[in-house]
Amino acid sequence: MNLTQMQAGGFGVVTGVSGDARFLNRVTGIGLTKGVRFQLVRNDGKMPVLLYCRETLIALNRPDAQRIKVRAE
């Protein structure tokens, strides 16, 4: 599933990231790499999607969040 399909409050693991080189550099630069654990803070159908990862609160717009594949835990 992608990040926008998870329920707020849930925990998960990033299983993959797709996109062009610019997007991949930006996302990996903020710490969203394959295998990292996170908690989804907000995903109510509005922008942005908020997640807590590596002691940082990250906001992603919905199109970017759809490119991030995750597994719920």
* Tens digit of each residue's pLDDT (9 = 90 or more) over 8-52: 999 999 999 999 999 999 999 999 999 999 999 999 988 899 999
Q: Residue 62: what pLDDT?
A: 94
Q: Residue 45: what pLDDT?
A: 84
Instruction: Sketch the domain layout of the chain as residue ranges.
Output: 3-72
Give the single-character DSSP code of 5: G
Q: Residue 52: what pLDDT?
A: 97
Among 33, 34, 20, 28, residue whose Cα is nearest residue 63: 20
Range 3-72 classified under CATH 2.30.30.90: yes
Q: Residue 47: what pLDDT?
A: 84
